[in-house]
């Protein structure tokens, strides 16, 4: 079953076409990788799905709901949750409060007690419980990356959009995150991951789409993508 269906979306900034007539879909429990060189339009694509930008053309459908008409917080409340490429947090709030903020907007949660319980549960899952009273501005980069995922999870996402979740992480930290992502799939969450290269995603993604200058140039299982001529050209030049 298709969870998300994007049809012919375009977005331009002035003369620059950042996303050009892109269509794709995400299935239930699927992990979709989005790769492409810098400036290919990957993050713009996320901003369009999550309502931070409005597309010039095209439709985005999530389980029968048209997203292009909704505002970012409404989309988040539906369970479409994103993380940011440059890791974001509420710096002067504790780790616990950082997660509580989003669990308060969880569509299944209706009281402060439930939200607090959820926050603790998620912090435990990501091994951040011992840091819960620390201000998030005092966390390391790797811890912040985990906090971002914790915050996303506290909203019980149905579709999770991860923007370069592995950027700047050590080998061990990277493996931790990849394991967590795989566990999330077991929970029935569909996931879209942006990365620069396909290498790190090979093991976990079901399918990959490749973006280049705002266009989708390939869509298929990872084994097929690595041998695709167009993709190799995009990365290495003709």
Partner 1 sequence: MPLLRQFSTTYIRSKSIIVASIIVAVLSLMPCFAHLFIIRVSIRALIYAIFAMSWDLLYGYAGLISFGHALFFGLGAYTCAILNTLFDLPPWGCILIAPCISTLAGLIISIPCLRLKEAYLALGTLAFAEIVRYLAIHFRELTGAEEGIRGIQVFSENILFNYYLYLIITLVCTTMLLLVVKSSFGLKLIAIREDEELSKACGINTSKYKISAFLLSSFIAGMSGGLYAHFTGIVEASIFSSTVSFMAVSMTIIGGLGTIIGPIVGSYLITFISEILRATLDIRLLVYSLTLVLVLLFIPEGIIARVRRLYRVGREK
Residues that bind partner 1 (CB under 8 A): 50, 52, 71-74, 76-77, 81-82, 84, 88-93, 97, 100-102, 104-106, 112, 115, 151, 155
Cβ contacts of residue 193 below 8 Å, gap of 6+? 31, 32, 33, 34, 162, 165, 181, 201, 205
- 12 burial type by CB count under 10 A (0-12 exposed, 13-18 middle, 19+ buried): middle
User: Based on CB atoms, which residue is closest to partner 1, 60 or 210?
Assistant: 60
The nearest distance, CB 104 to partner 1, in angstroms, is 5
Name every residue whose Cβ is closer than 8 Å to that of residue 55 and which is 6 or more positions away in sequence: 9, 10, 11, 19, 48, 68
Nearest to partner 1 of 24, 96 (CB atom): 96
Q: Tell me whether residue 42 or residue 82 sits nearer to partner 1 (CB atom).
A: 82
Minimum CB separation of residue 197 from partner 1 in Å reads 25
The least distance separating partner 1 from the CB of residue 131, rounded to whole angstroms, comes to 15
In angstroms, how far is CA 78 from the centroid of its own chain?
Answer: 15
Measured from the CB atom, the residue of 38 and 92 that comes closer to partner 1 is: 92
To partner 1, the closest distance from the beta carbon of 52 in angstroms equals 7
Q: Which is nearer to partner 1, 90 or 235 (CB)?
A: 90
Q: State the minimum distance, in angstroms, from the CB of residue 6 to partner 1.
A: 19
Query: What spatial distance separates the first Cα and last Cα of the chain, rounded to whole Å?
Result: 38
């Amino acid at each position: 079953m298709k969870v998300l269906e994007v049809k012919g979306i375009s977005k331009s900034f002035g003369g620059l076409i950042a996303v050009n007539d892109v269509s794709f879909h995400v299935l239930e429990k699927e992990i979709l990788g989005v790769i492409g060189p810098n400036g290919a339009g990957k993050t713009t694509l996320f901003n369009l799905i999550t309502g931070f930008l409005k597309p010039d053309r095209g439709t985005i459908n999530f389980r029968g709901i048209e997203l292009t008409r909704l505002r970012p917080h409404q989309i988040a409340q539906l369970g479409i949750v994103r993380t940011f490429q440059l890791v974001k947090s509420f710096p002067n709030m504790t780790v616990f409060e950082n997660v509580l903020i989003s669990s308060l907007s969880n569509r299944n949660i209706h009281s402060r007690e439930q939200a607090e319980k959820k926050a603790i549960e998620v912090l435990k899952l990501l091994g951040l419980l011992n840091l819960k009273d620390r201000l998030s501005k005092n966390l390391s980069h790797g811890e912040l990356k985990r906090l971002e995922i914790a915050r996303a999870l506290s909203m019980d996402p149905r579709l999770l959009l991860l923007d370069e979740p592995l950027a700047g992480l050590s080998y061990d930290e990277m493996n931790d995150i990849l394991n967590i992502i795989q566990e999330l799939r077991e929970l029935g969450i569909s996931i879209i991951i942006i990365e620069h290269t396909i290498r790190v995603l090979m093991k976990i993604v079901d399918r990959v789409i490749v973006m280049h200058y705002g266009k989708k140039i390939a869509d298929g299982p990872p084994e097929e993508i690595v041998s695709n001529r167009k993709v190799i050209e995009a990365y290495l030049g003709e």
